[in-house]
Amino acid sequence: MASPRSAAQSGWPYGLLGLTNDDFCPGEYILGQVLDASGAPLAGIRVAYVDQWGNRDVATSKSTATDAGSYDLPIGSRARDFYVTVVDVAGNPLSETIYIQHRRGTGENFACHHLVWGATR
């Protein structure tokens, strides 16, 4: 698992801390959490995906006590490729783009893809 310090060397404000795939959520999602550089949850950070057909969606990390820093993007059960990035309000990238194969390739048979992002500064 990468650390925010190693991600900072890339120059991006956010870096991927971890990615896991499983079937332990009630549906099919890209979900996870955004953390600050000290590991505390960050609210109001946008995580976006685009698939191979140009379909897009954006989620904003939550601020409630039980879901602080968490986000979720429903993706459905169709096999497809997703490109996931932390973005600013205008849609400009703030992280590297992570490639996810949903229901094929490395993500075959998994309903959920958990990505945890960390601020690098």
Domains of the chain from N-terminus onward = 4-119 (2.60.40.10)
pLDDT at 105: 64
Q: What is the pLDDT of residue 7?
A: 58
Q: pTM, whole model, 2 decimals?
A: 0.90
pLDDT of residue 56: 97
pLDDT recorded at residue 108: 65
> Is residue 108 classed exposed, middle or buried when 0-12, 13-18 and 19+ CB atoms within 10 A define those classes?
exposed
Q: Is 5 helix (H, G, I), strand (E, B) or coil?
A: helix
Question: Looking at the DSSP assignment, which residues form a beta bridge with residue 93?
Answer: 87
Three-state DSSP class for 80? Answer: strand
Angstrom distance (rounded) from CA 85 to CA 81 = 13
Please tell me the predicted confidence (pLDDT) of residue 4. Answer: 47
Q: How many CB atoms lie within 10 A of CB 35?
A: 21
Per-residue pLDDT of the chain (121 residues; tens, 9 = 90+): 444 445 556 689 999 999 999 988 899 999 999 999 999 999 999 999 999 999 999 999 999 999 999 999 999 999 999 999 999 999 999 999 999 999 876 656 799 999 999 999 8
Give the pLDDT of residue 5.
47
pLDDT at 104: 79
In 69-89, which positions are buried (b, 16+ CB within 10 angstroms) versus exposed (e)?
bbbbbebeeeebbbebbbbee
